[in-house]
Structure 1
Amino acid sequence: MSYQALYRVWRPQRFDDVVGQQVITQTLKNAIITNQISHAYLFAGPRGTGKTSAAKIFAKAVNCHHQKNGEPCNQCEICQAITDGTLNDVIEIDAASNNGVEEIRDIRDKAKYAPTQADYKVYIIDEVHMLSTGAFNALLKTLEEPPANVIFILATTEPHKIPLTILSRVQRFDFHRISPQDIFDRMKYILDEKQFKYEDKALWVIANAAEGGMRDALSILDQVLSFSDDHVKLDDALLVTGSVTKKLMQSYFMQVVQHQSPEALKTMDQILEQGKDGQRFIEDLISFIRDILLYQESPDLIQVASTGLKDEDFQTLSQLASAQLMYQMIDILNQVQDEMRFTTHPDVYLEVLTIRLSQIDDSQQEKVTNAADERELTRLKQQVEKLQQLVKQLQQPGGTQPKTVKAQKRRENTGVQPVRINLEQVYRILDHATKQDLIDLQNMWPDVLNMLNPAYRSLLELSKPVAASPDGVVVSFDNGFLLQKASVGSLADNINQGLEKITGSERHVVFVPSAKWPQIRHDFLADRGYFDKQKGSQVADPVKEPAKKEQDQITKQATQMFGSADVEIKDD
């Protein structure tokens, strides 16, 4: 097989060749230069951003005896063997197909032996998130007590699926999506080296279609080169990527914002006749509207050359539609894009979409906005009048402060504003709450706190979970001030994210004051009929009932074993 794909031929062999990840590559080079090499690394990020390539370069650099400034020489026997994949001391494993306990145990056993040729034995485990729970536990033992001269490099596109026990024992590097400008520059360099002809606009189409992945960009470029006989043309790039020409996009946008439905439908027919992909068309249109919005805000926010349009075009387009109108267009586009994912008739959705976009009434939106402004102005005027009346009462001899003013002063003196408790959400959680869920949550609560930043962690110092269900948590606060701060921020979302990472499921988080929790719980039991209303006695408690049955069973067994005289029951 003589021909090799571009992404294989032009795979980075030095850190400086890795595109768009300068911070990561410089950090790795500095670690090699200063000999501060860790035993385990995690490379996380989207596909095609250089994770595996960086891992192989790192394996070469730590073992190269002629490395300079942290870069491998790529000339010595070790470097060439690693590049060819023939060095036994650098082992690359695909966790998607080797995800069992036995495979990881085999790695753990072989890692104990010293490297045969290189200075370090390097294990590169790709798609590590595919490992089973047992395999992760087997790998954890090795990461806790790593053998000498062994380095593990874990690569993944889904770091949230990796257990926290593994994450805490590795140095993590997050690879980011590569910018279209960096992808454009890299493709231009490759084509210049191969002496191929190309159009800059065609390269921009490919760079935007790659969505931040260098490998995807080179794969698309390979297709275009094959299609157009080693000449990268704009029309061929549009055809291969399924994108829409800027000329058609510009005409379509102008027609819908000017309410010209028949003309817009004709333009849509031209787009469909060219075999354009419906999903790609909507993505291109959203990107097109986004560029106009940014240009309206400030022309410096976008690189006009990368869009395929001119400044004059943007000036005309930005004057045709208001920002509010374009916000509505993006909302409709997102909705239709979600609806047409599984349809076999995208043309119908696109035609309906065209009519909907053409019928957006910007003037009506302005009327709604003006009406809302007038209502707000009326409300503010009423508040001013009330305040003026209060001032007059206070200025009168012997005048007393209204109760509302006194209450406001008390709140100002204490610095605590009342927090509204959403009882409906609390009751929804209590309906399915169990004692075991609460115990499990209390056990994992320290891990949840460790995942929060210090500011949020300090808010939870005087709090604790008091009820839990499979999909919800009730957290009580001893301090009213901390409860107020927690209720107005995004603390609940952060706790939910932490619980989702640990348990794999989302849980709704509700905050309540500790002083009111007994009454809230009592009201819930009464509302659900757990009290005998005539005698006022509690019938059952759904939160404690499973635990009570278990306790009765244990008590019975203990009585049978030791006798009732020697058994004493005490509450914790």
Structure 2
Amino acid sequence: MVYQALYRVYRPQSFEDVVGQRHIVQTLQNALLQEKFSHAYLFSGPRGTGKTTAAKIVSKAVNCEQAPTAEPCNECASCRGIMDGSISDVIEIDAASNNGVDEIRDIRDKVKYAPSSVRYKVYIIDEVHMLSIGAFNALLKTLEEPPPHVIFILATTEPHKIPLTIVSRCQRFDFKRISPEDSVFRMKSILSSEDIKVDDQALYEIAKAAEGGMRDALSLLDQAISYSDDVVTLEDVLLITGAVSQEFLLRITKAVYEKNTVEALDAIDKLIQNGKDPNRFLEDIIYYYRDILLYQTNPALENMFEKAVISEEFKKLSNDLEMDQIYEIIHKLNEAQQEMKWTNHPRVLLEVLFVKLCQEQRRASVPASSETNDLTEKVKQLEMQIQQLKEQGIRVEEGIKESAQDKKPTRSPRSSYKVPTNRIYDILGKATRKDLDAIRRNWAEVLETLRQQNKASHAALLLNSEPVAASSDSFVLKFKYEIHCKMAAENNNNVRDNLENILYTLVGSQLTMIAVPEPDWEQIRQGFLKGQESEGGTSSSSDEEDPLIAEAKKLFGEELIEVEE
């Protein structure tokens, strides 16, 4: 018998074996028991999370001879026929290779015929986002009102590419990434059947490398089993996945803290010599610094660690590092990870990065007392010079005032973009932190989605933009450059439409984008705050603190703020 991969042999045949999607399984089982299942479903989510598997289980459950049932029996003629593919009434279509109008018209013509051997004819269309616009249009009417004996199940990894007219005709289920714990549990049950020994640490490393995909996890496990001899160890998995060991991460982190450039460069050299992926290494070390930050916050957060393992060296390093240093290092590592996608010389980028980190740590370790003394001395010298000028009869203050009067005010260039100030005031009046946080959390994914849609020009246009305020139906997007703001506001090449559609998919609500250049935003924001202050009945002589002063104190600290009337 030809060998089959683990993910094919152990594909779940019942809802009980589907891991990590309890919210979807329970909903589908209740619908099957009550015979209230829909005529069309949309299963969306990352790869390897069980979309097609759940579709096949649903097709068996609705046609099982024991129906209505929450689980297919997998023993009756209908279940066995669907499992081995001998029943032609369950049709699985790959939309990536059958994405034309003719294929959908063929489906539309055949759905009116009753099934030949089971109760329901089920169409499973995988990667449905690959269908052309014409094919979607041909599917619309049939999908909305199919014959009573037909069920459509659409599966996709990119739901934002599906027209809303299709989405609104389906019951949508979003499959989430499978947690490492659920992946490890499933792999252990498979290994017990296969009688193969694998270290627990190796299983967790496989689960993390799979990034929430069960199929990817089983493929990596299959590869690790083939590579190892008797027992699959953590070292075997690290070689397969390209990840680095705990000791290596601790070594290079200590080198950065100790400002040991030679040690850091030697570690990078060994990393490249061993064939490790530089991008994967950057991801691992970002998580390592993140784990240090969590440990400093609360040692009880150990169960949330991604890479670090608590040891005496790890505890000492966590006690030595300061939080501000960790924030800065993570920021620079994130920037390097973005640059890594476009460079042809990853080794050079890594070496330059860690040389900079070591040098900055060295500068940061120099005590600030010497700099403070120098500033104090310079201030004293300036005070002495001013005193000498006063004694010589030179009125410094008048000279400053006269020069200020003589100086003609510069007129700022007239903006070619008319800022919708009233619209922005309306949004600020209804804005909430919750709505803004929802957009900011998904902003990086918005830019990545635009790149995946071959909309690199749109992503470049929005690269220097930032959401600064949001309400339940609108949000304000601040642009660094006015020309970019104008292009987005005028919807050049449908950039605004694409942005709003992607946000609708990620956030779950339709939001209207209002663009504003950065200088205008600061003026509008201050005007709104002053308007709020006057409406509240406050005056300049009120005892309540100015909101701008309160914000400045939060940013810089009260000891550095001096308020002058």
Short-chain TM bin: 0.5 to 0.7
Distance 1:326-1:186 versus aligned 2 partners, 3 A rule: same
Are the aligned partners of 2:45 and 2:158 in contact in 1 as well (CA < 8 Å)? Answer: yes
TM-score of the pair, normalised by structure 2: 0.66
2:514 corresponds, among 502, 509, 512, to 509
Distance 1:488-1:28 versus aligned 2 partners, 3 A rule: closer
How far 1:200 moved relative to its partner? 1.3
How far 1:283 moved relative to its partner? 1.0
- Tell me the secondary structure at the aligned position of residue 360 of structure 1: helix
- Tell me the secondary structure at the aligned position of residue 152 of structure 2: strand
What are the Cα deviations for residues 278-301 of structure 1, in whole angstroms up to 9, with x where unaligned? Answer: 111111111211222222222333
How far 1:503 moved relative to its partner? 7.3
Distance 1:488-1:329 versus aligned 2 partners, 3 A rule: farther
Residue pairs, 1:351-366, within 5 angstroms: 351-361=351-361, 363=364
Are the aligned partners of 1:55 and 1:153 in contact in 2 as well (CA < 8 Å)? Answer: yes
Q: Does 1:500 align with 2:462?
A: no
Distance 1:311-1:490 versus aligned 2 partners, 3 A rule: farther
How far 1:249 moved relative to its partner? 0.7
Q: Which amino acid aligns with 2:243?
A: S
Are the aligned partners of 1:31 and 1:37 in contact in 2 as well (CA < 8 Å)? Answer: yes
CA distance in 1, matches of 2:306, 2:67: 38
CA distance in 1, matches of 2:193, 2:305: 23
CA distance in 2, matches of 1:65, 1:488: 48
| 1:491 aligned residue | 475
| 1:237 aligned residue | 237
CA distance in 2, matches of 1:256, 1:501: 40
| 1:100 aligned residue | 100
| 1:122 aligned residue | 122
Distance 1:274-1:95 versus aligned 2 partners, 3 A rule: same
Q: Does 1:293 align with 2:298?
A: no
- Tell me the secondary structure at the aligned position of residue 92 of structure 1: strand
Are the aligned partners of 1:42 and 1:172 in contact in 2 as well (CA < 8 Å)? Answer: yes
| 2:326 aligned residue | 326
Are the aligned partners of 1:425 and 1:510 in contact in 2 as well (CA < 8 Å)? Answer: no
Are the aligned partners of 1:204 and 1:307 in contact in 2 as well (CA < 8 Å)? Answer: no
Are the aligned partners of 2:284 and 2:307 in contact in 1 as well (CA < 8 Å)? Answer: no
Are the aligned partners of 1:242 and 1:280 in contact in 2 as well (CA < 8 Å)? Answer: yes
How far 1:86 moved relative to its partner? 2.1
CA distance in 2, matches of 1:58, 1:47: 19
How far 1:493 moved relative to its partner? 6.0
Residue pairs, 1:257-276, within 5 angstroms: 257-276=257-276
CA distance in 1, matches of 2:419, 2:303: 50
- Tell me the secondary structure at the aligned position of residue 93 of structure 1: strand
How far 1:255 moved relative to its partner? 1.3
Q: Which amino acid aligns with 2:282?
A: I
CA distance in 1, matches of 2:418, 2:245: 55
How far 1:118 moved relative to its partner? 1.1
Instruction: Give unpaired runs (5+ residues) of structure 1.
Output: 372-421, 430-454, 457-469, 472-483, 513-572
How far 1:159 moved relative to its partner? 0.3
How far 1:329 moved relative to its partner? 1.4
Are the aligned partners of 2:160 and 2:501 in contact in 1 as well (CA < 8 Å)? Answer: no
How far 1:265 moved relative to its partner? 1.7
| 2:284 aligned residue | 284
What are the Cα deviations for residues 518-537 of structure 1, in whole angstroms up to 9, with x where unaligned? Answer: xxxxxxxxxxxxxxxxxxxx
CA distance in 1, matches of 2:137, 2:322: 56
CA distance in 2, matches of 1:486, 1:215: 38
Are the aligned partners of 2:51 and 2:155 in contact in 1 as well (CA < 8 Å)? Answer: yes
How far 1:306 moved relative to its partner? 6.6
Are the aligned partners of 1:487 and 1:511 in contact in 2 as well (CA < 8 Å)? Answer: no
| 1:89 aligned residue | 89
- Tell me the secondary structure at the aligned position of residue 291 of structure 1: helix
CA distance in 2, matches of 1:68, 1:44: 26
Q: Which amino acid aligns with 1:499?
A: D
CA distance in 2, matches of 1:423, 1:39: 58
Q: Which amino acid aligns with 2:475?
A: L
How far 1:236 moved relative to its partner? 1.1
- Tell me the secondary structure at the aligned position of residue 250 of structure 2: helix
Are the aligned partners of 2:475 and 2:514 in contact in 1 as well (CA < 8 Å)? Answer: no
Are the aligned partners of 1:67 and 1:73 in contact in 2 as well (CA < 8 Å)? Answer: no
After superposing the two structures, state which structure 1 stretch, 47-56 or 337-346, moved more: 337-346
Identity of aligned residues (%): 54
Q: Root-mean-square deviation (CA), in Å?
A: 3.5
Q: Which amino acid aligns with 1:509?
A: I
| 2:77 aligned residue | 77
2:417 corresponds, among 415, 423, 426, to 426
What are the Cα deviations for residues 335-357 of structure 1, in whole angstroms up to 9, with x where unaligned? Answer: 22222224343222221122122
CA distance in 2, matches of 1:108, 1:366: 76
Q: Give the number of aligned pairs.
A: 411
- Tell me the secondary structure at the aligned position of residue 417 of structure 2: helix
Distance 1:102-1:493 versus aligned 2 partners, 3 A rule: farther
| 2:221 aligned residue | 221
Are the aligned partners of 1:500 and 1:507 in contact in 2 as well (CA < 8 Å)? Answer: no
How far 1:272 moved relative to its partner? 2.1
Q: Does 1:8 align with 2:13?
A: no
How far 1:511 moved relative to its partner? 8.2
Distance 1:258-1:331 versus aligned 2 partners, 3 A rule: same
Are the aligned partners of 1:164 and 1:502 in contact in 2 as well (CA < 8 Å)? Answer: no
| 1:477 aligned residue | none
Are the aligned partners of 1:100 and 1:134 in contact in 2 as well (CA < 8 Å)? Answer: yes
- Tell me the secondary structure at the aligned position of residue 99 of structure 2: coil
Residue pairs, 1:364-513, within 5 angstroms: 424=415, 426-427=417-418, 491-492=475-476, 499-500=497-498, 509-510=514-515
| 2:348 aligned residue | 348
| 2:60 aligned residue | 60
Are the aligned partners of 1:60 and 1:78 in contact in 2 as well (CA < 8 Å)? Answer: yes
Distance 1:292-1:424 versus aligned 2 partners, 3 A rule: farther
Distance 1:489-1:264 versus aligned 2 partners, 3 A rule: farther
CA distance in 1, matches of 2:25, 2:340: 41
How far 1:500 moved relative to its partner? 1.9
CA distance in 2, matches of 1:85, 1:174: 27
- Tell me the secondary structure at the aligned position of residue 244 of structure 1: coil
After superposing the two structures, state which structure 1 stretch, 301-310 or 251-260, moved more: 301-310
Distance 1:511-1:287 versus aligned 2 partners, 3 A rule: closer
Q: Which amino acid aligns with 2:89?
A: D
Q: Which amino acid aligns with 1:192?
A: S
Distance 1:59-1:507 versus aligned 2 partners, 3 A rule: same
- Tell me the secondary structure at the aligned position of residue 41 of structure 1: strand
How far 1:67 moved relative to its partner? 5.1
How far 1:56 moved relative to its partner? 0.4
After superposing the two structures, state which structure 1 stretch, 226-235 or 160-169, moved more: 226-235
TM-score of the pair, normalised by structure 1: 0.66
Instruction: Give unpaired runs (5+ residues) of structure 2.
Output: 373-412, 421-434, 437-456, 459-467, 479-488, 504-510, 518-565
Q: Which amino acid aligns with 1:500?
A: N
What are the Cα deviations for residues 423-451 of structure 1, in whole angstroms up to 9, with x where unaligned? Answer: 9483489xxxxxxxxxxxxxxxxxxxxxx
Q: Which amino acid aligns with 2:164?
A: L
How far 1:129 moved relative to its partner? 0.5
CA distance in 1, matches of 2:496, 2:85: 39
Are the aligned partners of 1:257 and 1:321 in contact in 2 as well (CA < 8 Å)? Answer: yes
CA distance in 2, matches of 1:487, 1:37: 36
- Tell me the secondary structure at the aligned position of residue 360 of structure 2: coil
CA distance in 1, matches of 2:35, 2:152: 16
What are the Cα deviations for residues 38-87 of structure 1, in whole angstroms up to 9, with x where unaligned? Answer: 00000000001110000001111111122585011111111111111221
Are the aligned partners of 2:197 and 2:231 in contact in 1 as well (CA < 8 Å)? Answer: yes
What are the Cα deviations for residues 460-495 of structure 1, in whole angstroms up to 9, with x where unaligned? Answer: xxxxxxxxxx99xxxxxxxxxxxx996899634699
Q: Highest Rg: 1 or 2?
A: 1
CA distance in 2, matches of 1:424, 1:49: 50
How far 1:261 moved relative to its partner? 1.3
- Tell me the secondary structure at the aligned position of residue 46 of structure 2: coil
Distance 1:33-1:311 versus aligned 2 partners, 3 A rule: farther
